[in-house]
Chains A and B, each alone.
Chain A
Amino acid sequence: MADDREPPPLFDDEKPDKKEDEDDLFATPNEAPKEEIKDEPASLPTEPAQDKASEDLFAADDDLFGEAVKEVDTSKLRRKLTEDVDDLSPPLTPLEEPKPLIPTPADSSKAPPKKEPPKEKVKKYSQAKEPKPLIPTQADSSKAPKKDASENKNPPPKEEAKKKEDSQTKEAKPSKKEPASMAKEQPPLKPMKVSVDLHPPKPGEGEEVDLDSPETEGPSSPAKMEPDSDSSPLEAPPMAEVLPPAKPVIEEKPKPTPAPRKPSMEKSKEEIEEEESGDQFALDIKVHDPGKIGDGMGAYMSYKVTTQTSIPAFRRPSMTVTRRFSDFLGLHEKLSQKHTHIGRIVPPAPEKSVVGMTKIKMSKEDTSSTEFVEKRRALLERFLQRISLHPVLQMDPDFRDFLEQDELPRATSTSAVSGAGVLRLIKGVGDTFSKVTIKMDESDQWFEEKQNQVEALDQQLKKLHASVEALVTYRKELGISTSAFAKSTAMLSNSEEHTALSRALSQLAEVEEKIELVHLEQADNDFFLLSELLKDYIGIIQAIRVVFHERVKSFHNWQNAQQNLAKKREQEAKFKQTGKTDKIAQAQEEIREWEGKVEKGREDFEEISKTIRTEIRRFETNRVKDFRNIIIKYMETLMNSQQQLIKYWEGFLPEAKAIA
């Protein structure tokens, strides 16, 4: 125990650090953490100003048609700006570098209080919710007391470490401070929590590891991990959610992977778990070089899939294979067969498009088909990347085969069934199950809330998607108009006799042509960033529904078993009453059988409920990350568009001035 106690703090020390880096990685892929810190204070001064600014905007809006239409409006916008960010006042500056990021001492002193409130809220929340977890009694927690002890000893060093870090980085404060405070405040809750989290490793990890590898690391490492994850399951979502699923990974590993690789795997168990807990970019997948293979109606598109990985389970760190669309569908099919029924959310399969494919088959090299191919390529890439980000699916042998194997057995079942058909089937299931759910007496408030939430989210996303689609159309129209005006201008320029004016007009035509491209590019960004993201999430929500449905099915199995058990018991009682002793034995046998089934049903149901919780948590973490990244990326494309406009018009200005 004493030995064991040493490492954990150390581990803790590293862990949050790592996690943070990773968070940053996700958050701002292209930015050094340094900048992040610099950015922080900037939000503070702007916050209050923003309100004022929006008022001004409204005012400007009113004026738009009210009184002063000339160029006042820009001056209004301008005013808003100067009020908000004084640094920006020379309009040139924002172009080169976003200035307002220099932190002032006042700002940094303000920063901590600003971050505090949410933390407290979170804390309260966790207290309120903590006692609830579904699985009520895992009384078999022979390990629990031990855990408890080790945990209670853990906090102090951890706290110190945390504090030290706090003083260094302001970021992610809530997540860091909490463990300490929680450890203090929540000892009564701990046993419950521990038992919940300990349960899985026992059958899964512990045994398997012992069997497969004689290494000593095996058993002790979960012990090491567990306290950590236990003491901070709530404030450190990636950890909490990743740990339990790690167990099946190890279950599966021995089966497909040949012997030589195993020891290394086991040795680096901690590594893997770390990887899984955050370093999800260990798998970098690119789908590229779409190419048409064959002719006529038998033609199909093939894609190159290049993977780079640091996951040791792969034979090589980098590989490229050629896959066709139906292979992707096949992969999805295999994964969902294996994982959906135990509650895992498998990223939705890419949709098959008859129209688009027919065009390709007709070998039409027009823009719409290249657009289609690019759309699909991006879709497939996202599909694979989503799988690769999932700690369990990432390690699935079928997925690995898909990335590694040169030749893949043709997925006959899926090529026969069209993707759209499969999708429709799933959709049908999703739609009908919601009715079933209502029948199910939802004993778990968490699930009830989640289901409502997911439905609301679905509605919201669909609405947003429609809005974005409209926006894309509008933008394309604007592009077309711009191009038409460019042509008119060119003609005007031709018949203009005044040389300088003629030249300026032809320059204008060129500028407008470039601006047309800006609009079209922005329309692409609208589409590929926003629209596709929303569509992906609508698909994922569908997958979530399916998983919810699986849980309901599991519940029904359990209930059925219970009913049958009750019947059998009645029967037995009847036999006893009627004195049919000869049948009692058989009845008791049956009762035992059904008792087993009930127990199994209950376990299955609990298992799937737990998995879904983890999955949903993962989904939400990813949702926040995805939306944050995409929104930022999208906003940056908007900025880029503006920058291009500035560039083009600044290039044109001297021409205009030189007219006379």
Chain B
Amino acid sequence: MRSVVLYRSVIAQEGEDQDVTSRLTSSKMDNATDETNTNGTADVSDSPEADQDTPESSGLPEPTLPPKPFEPVFTVKVTDAAKDGEVVKYSLKTAKIKSESEEYKVVRQYEDFEWLEHCLITQNDIGGIIVPPLPPKPSTTAQSAEARSKKQLGNKKRHGSDDEEGNDIKLVVGDEFEKDCRSLEKYLQLVVTHPILGQDESITKFLTVREAPTRAKLKKSIFSNLSKSLGEARKGGHKDVNEFFQKERDTVNEVSLQMKEAKENYMKIVYGEQRVAVGLSHLSTALHLGGQLQEGADVVVNKLFTQFSEGLEDAKQGLEVMAVNDENTLGFSLDLYSRYLEAEKEMLYRRTCKMMEFEAATKAVEKAKPQKRQMAEAARDKAEKEFEDISKAAEKELKNFHHQRVLTFQDSLVRHADAKIKAARDTYALLTKCVTALKTLDTNFKPL
């Protein structure tokens, strides 16, 4: 029974992932429903601009209808990645949830994802939305891979292992497409299951149309980022009118830092495990190297060493498995949320900006001369409405976000612990076998 849960295959695992996310979504939407019922506002009314920008989106529910829980239209899997020249191409497999027979297979590259993100941001009113963070562009060049390896395995050349160093880097790090696939898959899942973004036309196109959308070269200037962060720093301290948001803003600043630190430290553990695995492997190799002496006690000692080296290989294997699982369970969540929290911060910042606009408009009304008063009041009312809209949307989004966050962490912690237990048990069993073999090894020999 346990083994069924623990040792499911990839597919089952991914299915499970899907289950988790859809479960998350449905529960999230339950909340959303409650919200909307009490507020009497429909989902999409928060994003009137989205309506205008994507009038052709057919899946849009009528604003007048009572809101029903959001059902994601697709399930997405990034099944494979292959290097085509300099470009890594990702194979996506999409199925419609309602009619399973409908399957789409498309090939995309990272720039397409960037374009998708761009479309999602520009074509929707993302004011109160925490936009799922697109994972950073994976490094594909040899140099960057080498740099990364060095970071993981330690730059220091260790005594006695200099010559083999190069080989082991390859051995341990290898191509990380798999990890990128998982990150991108998670990104797409987050988008697809998002009540607003999930209904966007561009995601549908992205997933179903064979031809990749024409890619406009996106100019993400450093300056815009810089000015944004400057602004954040300047406006971040602005006092909030709403206690809920004030608290949220305070915590998110703190937590996002802590999350990043935790993620980094966690990755250090993973690298550390890999490094110990490398150490074990070196030792195991060294034990084999001595195997040329074929006389007297050496025969027996070599037998011992061979068995011992097998045991060390087992231990090494166990550690590597642990490292991989660590990275895929808790490490993945920590990584995701260290980015996701940034997205939350950005959303809060957008709201803070609106709030300040509203405050400025209010002040303007007070200062306005009588003849301009009406105009100022209109501006204020508009700002107020915008601010209220964004706050409302943000509040809902935040609740979902945190709910989902807790569920995600629960899931990853459980899987993390499970994987640890399993790997440790398996390693233990292998070691037991090895010790038994060692104990029964015939150590009689004829001295020369």
Contacts and interface: CB of A to CB of B under 8 A. Distances in A.
B129 to A, nearest CB: 21
A620 B296 contact: yes
A40 B297 contact: no
Contact of A631 (B158, B261, B308): B308
B300 A624 contact: yes
Contacts of A237: 447
A484 B268 contact: yes
Output the residue of B280, B297, B321, B423 with the most chain A CB within 10 A.
Answer: B297
A485 B265 contact: yes
Given A71-B419, A642-B318, A660-B406, A65 B174 contact: yes
A491 B413 CA distance: 17
Interface string B308-326: 1011010101101100110
A297 interface: no
A506 to B, nearest CB: 12
B297 A623 contact: yes
B301 A623 contact: yes
Interface string B399-430: 00010001101100111111111111111111
Contacts of A649: 417, 420-421, 424
A234 B441 contact: no
B73 interface: no
Contacts of A85: 429, 433
B113 to A, nearest CB: 20
A57 B310 CA distance: 11
Contacts of B161: 466-467, 470
A469 B265 contact: no
A40 B440 contact: yes
B272 A481 contact: yes
Contacts of B80: 67
B89 to A, nearest CB: 16
B433 A100 contact: yes
Nearest to A470: B158
A50 B413 CA distance: 33
Interface stretch (B6-14, B53-61, B104-112): B6-14
A482 B182 CA distance: 25
B36 interface: no
A197 interface: no
A467 B160 contact: yes
Interface residues of B, number: 112
A468 interface: yes
Given A91-B422, A91-B426, A659-B406, A174 B447 contact: no
A95 B310 CA distance: 20
Contacts of B427: 77, 642
A636 B437 contact: no
A607 interface: no
A100 B435 CA distance: 12
Output the residue of B307, B406, B424 with the most chain A CB within 10 A.
Answer: B424
A282 interface: no
Interface residues of A, number: 120
Contacts of A659: 406, 409-410, 413
A471 to B, nearest CB: 4
Contact of A638 (B282, B301, B311, B416): B311
Contacts of B271: 481
A77 B438 contact: no
Given A488-B261, A650-B421, A482 B280 contact: no
Nearest to B415: A71
B431 A638 contact: yes
Nearest to B263: A488
A504 interface: yes
Nearest to B314: A57
B245 to A, nearest CB: 14
Interface string B130-141: 000000000000
Contacts of B315: 638
A68 interface: yes
A95 B425 contact: yes
Interface in A599-635: 616-617, 620-621, 623-625, 627-628, 631-632, 635
B258 interface: yes
A36 B440 CA distance: 7
Contacts of B179: 69
Given A449-B295, A470-B282, A635-B311, A81 B413 contact: no
Given A449-B448, A656-B414, A467 B279 contact: yes
Given A77-B318, A449-B448, A98 B436 contact: yes
B439 interface: yes
Contact of B251 (A68, A481, A497): A497
A541 B200 CA distance: 75
A204 B227 CA distance: 97
Interface in B322-376: 324-325, 328-329
A587 interface: no
Given A64-B324, A460-B290, A621-B447, A473 B440 contact: no
A473 B80 CA distance: 37
Given A65-B178, A72-B9, A642 B424 contact: yes
Interface string B259-273: 101100110110111
Contact of B258 (A98, A474, A492, A639): A492
A646 B328 contact: no
Interface string A341-368: 0000000000000000000000000000
Contacts of A43: 436-437, 440-441
Given A453-B293, A464-B290, A498 B402 contact: yes
B317 A60 contact: yes
A92 B421 CA distance: 10
Q: Which 10 residue pairs of A and B lie closest in terms of their CB atoms, listed nearest first?
A: A466-B160, A620-B297, A478-B272, A65-B174, A471-B279, A460-B290, A488-B262, A659-B410, A656-B413, A481-B268
15 contacts: A27-B443, A54-B313, A73-B325, A91-B425, A95-B428, A98-B432, A122-B445, A453-B295, A469-B160, A481-B271, A620-B297, A625-B443, A631-B304, A631-B438, A638-B431
Given A474-B272, A481-B269, A498-B406, 17 more contacts: A60-B321, A61-B317, A78-B3, A91-B3, A91-B6, A91-B422, A118-B444, A174-B444, A453-B298, A470-B161, A482-B272, A489-B262, A491-B261, A621-B297, A624-B301, A631-B307, A659-B410
Interface of A: 27-28, 31, 36, 39-40, 42-43, 46-47, 50, 54, 57, 60-61, 64-75, 77-78, 80-81, 84-85, 88-92, 94-95, 98, 100-101, 115, 118, 122, 125-126, 129, 172, 174-175, 234-235, 237, 241, 446, 449-450, 453, 456-457, 460, 463-464, 466-471, 473-475, 477-478, 481-482, 484-485, 487-489, 491-492, 495-498, 500-501, 504, 508, 616-617, 620-621, 623-625, 627-628, 631-632, 635-636, 638-639, 642-643, 645-646, 649-650, 652-653, 656-657, 659-660
